[in-house]
Structure 1
Amino acid sequence: MNIILVSNRLAKSRSITLGTWQIMLLVVLVSVMVWVATFTLQYALARFAPEGLNDGVRALLSRIQSEERQKRDSYVNSSLDAMAARVGQMQAQLQRLDALGARLAKLSGMKPDEFRFDQPPAQGGPLVTLNPQQMSAATLEQQLNTLTQLVNDRSDKLVALETLLQQNQLSHKLLPSIPPIAEGFSSSNFGWRLDPFTGASAMHEGVDFMVPEGTSIRASAGGVVAYSDYHPQYGNMIEIDHGNDIVTRYAHASRLLAKVGQVVRRGEKVAEVGSTGRSTGSHLHFEVRYKGIAQNPVRFLQEAHG
């Protein structure tokens, strides 16, 4: 096929020769343009003049719109389900934080009325409204992610604080904090005194509690029994290791109840008062030692109750 081009701008006419494959390509291009123009016209008619369409086209467009609507509804529902699951997780985390906060308040000695973790915080104030901003699903999900991270961070920090408070309480329980005798008076204090046997000045490394024989002797703090046997000077003696180089001794007992290696709790009965060893009568000799050096037991008891 020959195409002759004639124009006033051209000094002479030009001819274009089209082969078979070029003609076929031109036909395909024209067909595509016609199809696009037809689809555009049909869409415009469906959008602005739906009454001009035949039943087949209307059914096709209705099916396409229905499929798009179902896809959109499915996406919205899946997004809502995901957000509902996230909200449920955050509610569970908040309940855990409420329980953790109540335990921390108890450990720290706060009054129950000061922090009510089982009730929402009291709020109020005048109503001041601003132009609301449209919140998209993506924005809401981002805020949920940020809030979840904050809740997890606060939870980790509160758990660490609870651990520290528990360690502090445990350390306090491992200090000699209660008198080894429930009732009784001190017959000889810690410090220099006249020895009851020699009459010479001697160091008394503990406190004596004058009580009847058989009176219960209780552990001044929790620990592990390191010695439970007869000693030439102390008589029947119990020695308890409380850790951190702190040891307590309970001497001159008539009966030993705790065994070596036994774990005893603070206030637990470990022996009974007697007058064995180097003793002039029924009493308990109580010592507190730190790194092997005798300390004044009264100081520990006063600090524990101060």
Structure 2
Amino acid sequence: MHIIITDAWLAKSRALHLSSLKLLAAGVVASMLLMLGAVAAYHWVFLEGVRQGWPGFGSVARLVTQGEVDSKEVYMRENLDAMARKLGEMQARMLQIESLGERVAGLAGLNPQEFRVHQGAGGALISGRDLTLEELAQAMDQLDMASGSRVDWLTVVESRLFDQKIQRTMVPTEQPVAGGRVGSPFGFRIDPINGRSALHTGLDFPADTGTPILAAAGGVVVVQEVHPAYGNMVEVDHGNNLITRYAHASKVHVRKGDIVKRGQKIAEVGSTGRSTGPHLHFEVWVSGVPQDPQRFLAAGETMATASLQVSKARLR
């Protein structure tokens, strides 16, 4: 294609040669410019019409944006449903914790009903219905309050159970001589030395010299001395005006002021003091009054048997 351009003023002519490729490129560029111009004009007119409130533009804008709004609502609904399901699972777990808390409260010596009363209502369990964002936020606030109160209550229960455990460790229920048999029981008997009737204020455990003497419970050594009648003697204070006494030892491994644990070796069997042969003389005193140690030791055997039965039941 040839185009001749003539300039009348300069009396000149110029010839342009356009190939088919150049014409095609020029057509494409012109089309793109025309399309961009049309889009820009439509966009400006559309926005101006919406801003100015021209008739018909508001409904067109709603139709254009409706799809985007619908997709956002679907996305939000899916997320709300997922959160509601998760919240329902958490509420179900809270009900399980509440049931467990009641049982543990009973073990701690507390009234299980106090646990439910103390917690109050934990809010309605989330069902399969659609929830609004406000309802979901309210349910989560209720769950947060309920979980906080349950933590506080279970902390009290834990403290009570810990106190009970400490108290159990401070009660002399451990055999002071492992596997030892009782020789002379608590009560009145004929004294083996003078032949008169006298109160025997403890239990005698015959054993070989050097046999370990174990602390019947945890406590603090308050006496460690050589007594004319008791020989090498140790007294352990367990609190609550409860004291145990271990007499006639051949050797003592603790001193006054030492803290001892249940089952700890504190001395060795001997025959020191007023004794007719190697044995441990074991006494339990409560508020300054001698008690029958066999009652404490029997209680320890009962607890050990019960614990063994519970362990076997769990294994089954």
TM-score of the alignment, normalized to the shorter chain, above 0.5: yes
Distance 1:43 1:262, change over 3 A: farther
Superposed displacement of residue 265, structure 1: 0.7
Aligned residue type for 1:269: K
Counterpart in the other structure of 1:243: 239
The 3-state SS of whatever aligns with 1:186 is: coil
Summarize deviations over 1:203-225 as a string: whole Å, max 9, x none. Answer: 11000011110000000001111
Counterpart in the other structure of 1:46: 57
The 3-state SS of whatever aligns with 1:175 is: coil
TM-score normalised by the chain length of structure 1: 0.62
Superposed displacement of residue 270, structure 1: 0.2
**C-alpha distance in structure 2 between counterparts of 1:256 and 1:49, whole Å:** 100
**C-alpha distance in structure 1 between counterparts of 2:188 and 2:146, whole Å:** 60
Distance 1:47 1:245, change over 3 A: same
Q: State yes or no: 1:175 paired with 2:186.
A: no
- Give runs of aligned pairs for residues 5-24 of structure 1, distance below 5 A: none
Counterpart in the other structure of 1:254: 250
Aligned residue type for 1:144: M
**C-alpha distance in structure 1 between counterparts of 2:159 and 2:264, whole Å:** 26
- Give runs of aligned pairs for residues 80-159 of structure 1, distance below 5 A: 133-159=129-155
**C-alpha distance in structure 1 between counterparts of 2:166 and 2:251, whole Å:** 29
Counterpart in the other structure of 1:279: 275
Within the candidate set 285, 291, 303, 2:287 is matched to 291
Distance 1:244 1:43, change over 3 A: farther
Summarize deviations over 1:164-222 as a string: whole Å, max 9, x none. Answer: 11211211111011110002222211000111121111111000011110000000001
Counterpart in the other structure of 1:217: 213
**C-alpha distance in structure 1 between counterparts of 2:153 and 2:54, whole Å:** 60
**C-alpha distance in structure 1 between counterparts of 2:298 and 2:55, whole Å:** 93
**C-alpha distance in structure 2 between counterparts of 1:49 and 1:289, whole Å:** 96
**C-alpha distance in structure 1 between counterparts of 2:221 and 2:59, whole Å:** 95
Aligned residue type for 1:279: S
Superposed displacement of residue 154, structure 1: 1.3
Alignment length (residue pairs): 219
Q: State yes or no: 1:228 paired with 2:213.
A: no
Counterpart in the other structure of 1:32: none
Counterpart in the other structure of 2:26: none
**C-alpha distance in structure 1 between counterparts of 2:132 and 2:272, whole Å:** 84
Within the candidate set 267, 270, 274, 2:266 is matched to 270
Aligned residue type for 2:144: T
Distance 1:305 1:44, change over 3 A: farther
Aligned residue type for 1:305: E
Superposed displacement of residue 49, structure 1: 5.0
The 3-state SS of whatever aligns with 2:281 is: strand
Q: State yes or no: 1:303 paired with 2:299.
A: yes
Superposed displacement of residue 304, structure 1: 2.3
Structure 1: runs of 5+ lacking an equivalent: 1-37, 51-61, 110-129
**C-alpha distance in structure 1 between counterparts of 2:245 and 2:276, whole Å:** 18
TM-score normalised by the chain length of structure 2: 0.60
Distance 1:134 1:232, change over 3 A: same
Identity across the alignment (%): 38
**C-alpha distance in structure 1 between counterparts of 2:207 and 2:156, whole Å:** 45
Aligned residue type for 1:192: F
Distance 1:46 1:260, change over 3 A: same
Superposed displacement of residue 281, structure 1: 0.9
Counterpart in the other structure of 2:45: none
The 3-state SS of whatever aligns with 2:149 is: helix
Distance 1:192 1:45, change over 3 A: same
Superposed displacement of residue 161, structure 1: 1.1
The 3-state SS of whatever aligns with 1:254 is: strand
The 3-state SS of whatever aligns with 2:56 is: helix
- Select the structure that is richer in helix: 2
The 3-state SS of whatever aligns with 2:183 is: strand
